[in-house]
Structure 1
Amino acid sequence: MRRLTFSLLAATLAGVTPALAHFQLAYTGQANLEAPARLPVKLIFWHPMENGHAMDIGQPEDVFYVFKGERHDLSESLTPITFTGAQNAAQAYEVTLPVKRNGDYILGVVPTPYYEGSEDIYIQQFTKSFLNKGGIPTGWNDPLGLPAEIVPLNKPTNVIAGSTFSGRVLSAGAPVAGAEIEIEYLAAEPDTQTNTVSAVAAGPMPGGAIVAIADENGVFTFGVPKAGHWGFAALGVGPDTEHEGKALSQDAVIWIKAYDLN
């Protein structure tokens, strides 16, 4: 709960309403493929639910994907890009994901810690997103061994809007009881061709951030009300709490894709 506490304190001192959450994206635009492809993955640090401010990020420490238990490095394809959101332009990155065989592709991102000046802390969000080819499940619920991560308990590439999604929060491989999870909807999807923001499909919720609390086994459940991309961030659950002499919030982020049932 550390990062939310810092956010509330900074907002109170500034006399403003707390902003919605920072979320690291690993965005492909697609979650299910039938044919082989080389997909661009956009690594953007943003306020997605409010279609808000985008933050400049440094080169990620690690970017990879896991397919059928094998880890594949993507860092050689890292390319800096400029992402232009509704409010500003910011430094972002792109990698290329080679999708060939049927099965689950789990993307993992270890970003460089980001300094949030308004809170005087660093934020590092270990981020996972998912893609499937051919409808064949091959390990979407396998942990990646990140310092902090959310392991999905529902298949994350085809959640039905109106159903629920559950995940288990892990820190150094162990469940985190009582973890605080912020939840956001990707209200305006990035255009992967132009690196700009597309049309807005939803607005921010009144009352601030949507929050869930994990149980004693680190498990949380959320009723998914709308089709699209949903992000879940377990705040401050990583093992490290300091970076360059300042507080560090190591968060676990996961992105899922929900569909309307036709």
Structure 2
Amino acid sequence: MTRPLLGAAAAALALTATPALAHFQLAYTPTVVLDAPAQVPMKFIFWHPMENGHAMDMTQPESLVVHFKGEAIDLTDKLTPFTFKAAHNEAQAYEAALPVKRNGDYIVALTPAPYYEESEDIYIQQITKSFLNKGEIPTGWNEPLGLPTEIVPLNKPTNVLAGSTFSGLLLSEGKPVAGAEIEIEYLAAPPDMEANTPGPVTAEPPSGGALVAMTGHDGMFTFGLPKAGFWGFAALGSGPDTEHEGKELSQDAVIWVHAQELP
């Protein structure tokens, strides 16, 4: 897996292969469009979701904040650990209930603690965004949050049609990042919210390794979503912080979007 930023790329999208599928910080709840107020359970798992593979132990995240109509709701102290029983191992993950009351967009922003990847001798920190909506009323899903690095969606992330495209704008310290590598994965075995295990596998990994896109000169990328479900996009090494505890840090921006079939 290649993590450092690559040189400037002219193409807005370039699918290539890397040796293995990626680490992905998951921020998951099965239903992202609600029609009534709820305490929405969400699971935060550091995993290899496309291959239903190895899960990594998370330590206490640095922050969990839900953004709604310009208000930042800090839920960091609501995070509780649990054991996720992946297909091949068990790992510590976290969960929290998100209060959804009024109509509009809820942007979930998780900043996990850096994870030490022994095989690469680096730390990985994936600053992750996911989205909920109540009442089908748009109220700011496309607004940046001012995170160190983030992907701003250019399509409504709770309602993308399978077979259409998703576009995002990659920012680092608020500025577009050109020539950045974006790894793309499908959530092939959505977690069972009660059992804390992977659910039934709905897709197999593609041959040739990870799916990769590149941002263009304007920091934008576009990818076609061939299948309904949850898709994750990770911009590797896009953040401003490059070192943690004397070792290299890959500070990544991650976003999860939901694609549905046309009714």
- What TM-score, normalized to structure 1? 0.94
Note the residue ranges of structure 1 that are not aligned, 5 or more in a row.
6-16
SS in 1 for 2:77: helix
Higher RCO (C-alpha under 8 Å, 6+ residues apart):
2
CA distance in 1, matches of 2:83, 2:25: 15
Q: Distance in 1 between matches of 2:20 and 2:167?
A: 25
Q: For residues 31-63 of structure 1, what are the alpha-carbon distances to aligned partners after superposition, in whole Å with 9 as ceiling and x for unaligned?
A: 101011101110100000000000001000000
Residue 92 of structure 1, CA deviation: 0.3
* Cα offset, 1:19, TM superposition: 2.5
By how many angstroms is 1:4 displaced?
8.8
After superposition, residues 231-242 of structure 1 pair within 5 angstroms as: 231-242=232-243
- Is 2:137 the counterpart of 1:146? no
Structure 1 residue 2, shift from structure 2 partner: 3.1
RMSD across aligned positions (CA): 1.2
Counterpart position of 2:205 = 204
Match of 1:99 in 2: 100
The aligned counterpart of 1:25 is 26
Q: Give the CA deviation at 1:250.
A: 0.4
**Partners in 2 of 1:2 and 1:55 — Cα distance?**
18
Structure 1 segments (4+ residues) deviating >4 Å:
none
1:41 is the counterpart of 2:66: no
- 1:76 is paired with a residue of what secondary structure? helix
For residues 167 and 186 of structure 2, what CA distance do their matches in structure 1 show? 16
**1:60 partner letter:** P
Q: 1:221 corresponds to which residue?
A: 222
Distance of 1:98 and 1:219 partners within structure 2 = 32
Cα separation, 2, equivalents of 1:126 and 1:98: 21
Tell me which protein shows more helix as a share of its residues: 1
Distance 2:53 2:182 in 1: 20
Other structure's SS at 1:55 match: coil
**Count of residues in Structure 1 that have an aligned counterpart in Structure 2:** 251
Q: Distance in 1 between matches of 2:29 and 2:133?
A: 12
Equivalent residues in 2 for 1:58-73, closer than 5 Å: 58-73=59-74
Post-superposition Cα deviations, 1:135-169, rounded to whole Å, max 9, x if no partner, equal: 00000001111101000000000000000000000
Matches within 5 A, 1:1-262: 2-3=3-4, 18-262=19-263
Residues 174-208 of structure 1: CA deviation (Å, up to 9, x unaligned): 00011110000000000111211110000111000
Residue aligned with 1:2, SS:
coil
Q: Distance in 1 between matches of 2:86 and 2:247?
A: 29
Deviation at 1:3, TM superposition (A): 4.8
Query: What is the distance in 2 between the residues matched to 1:166 and 1:240?
Result: 25
